[in-house]
A = this chain, B = another copy of it.
Amino acid sequence: MDEKKETTRVEAFSDGVFAIAITLLVLELKPAIDHVLESHPEIGLFGAMWEQWPIFLAFVISFATLGIMWLNHHRLFNLIIRIDHTLLVLNLFVLFAATVVPFPTALLGEYSKDPISFRDATLLYGGAFVLVAIAYNALWRYATYRHRLLEQHVDVQMVKRINRQYLLGPLLYVIAFAFAWLSPALSLGIEALLAAFYLLPGIELKRPGAKQKSAQEVA
């Protein structure tokens, strides 16, 4: 019984930060529209939205990625049941990475017109996701090292599976980041694919031997 609950307030605080970061994204849409309509009022609202496609794409990608971050946080803190000072600090690092995301998202709304600043904004955007992936790895590696903060009867196979997934994440995001030099649009496309891939229910079904317990596992 004492086993549970140490993490309750960390989860509540983290939920709050994710919820706010994910909701603040919408605040960047209107200024991007205003920006276009001030100089070209004749193209109209839908024309302005079409012109500013990168901010809308970034809005959807950022929402999905922050949503996935929350799903992951949720999943990890189902396994992590003890906390210590280092874990709390690493969790702050994860939240820091999450709150940074709206900044490059907003930049994509205003600085996507000329190639140089579009590339720079996409680099910052990709960099934020790399930071997120590093922060999650640090948190997870620390918590699972010798199972120090995990539930006693934790499923060892699942810990290993998450370990493997967490090796892949930073690598994929570094690739997306690097592509920003070649083509910002391609970099955004890769990030959109990654978000879609993580959201697809498919990836869960493919896990070997995970079928029977998938409900609790995700919970």
Binding site for B on A (CB under 8 A): 6, 9-13, 15-30, 33-34, 37, 44-46, 63-64, 67, 70-71, 74, 82-86, 88-89, 92, 95-96, 99-100, 102-103, 106-107, 110-111, 116-117, 120-121, 124, 199, 201, 204, 214-216, 218-219
Contact B18–A103 (Cβ < 8 Å): no
CB-defined contacts of A215 to chain B, threshold 8 Å? 6, 82-84
Question: A44 CB to closest chain B CB, in angstroms?
Answer: 6
How far does the Cβ of A125 sit from chain B's closest Cβ, in whole Å?
11
Interface pair B15/A45, CB less than 8 Å apart: no
Q: How many copies does the complex hold?
A: 4
Task: Name 9 interchain pairs, CB-CB below 8 A, sorted by A.
Answer: A9-B15, A19-B19, A28-B30, A29-B103, A30-B106, A45-B120, A74-B88, A83-B219, A84-B218
Complex CA gap A20/B95 in Å reads 12
> Are B103 and A44 within 8 A (Cβ)?
no
Residues on B with beta carbons closer than 8 Å to the beta carbon of A89: 67, 199, 201
Determine if B22 and A218 form an interchain contact, defined as CB atoms under 8 angstroms apart. no
- Contact partner, A116, options B44, B70, B116, B120, Cβ 8 Å: B44
Known A84-B218, A204-B85; judge A27-B26 contact (CB<8 A): no
Report the minimum CB–CB distance from A42 to chain B (whole Å): 10
In the complex the two chains form, is A26's CB within 8 Å of B99's CB?
yes
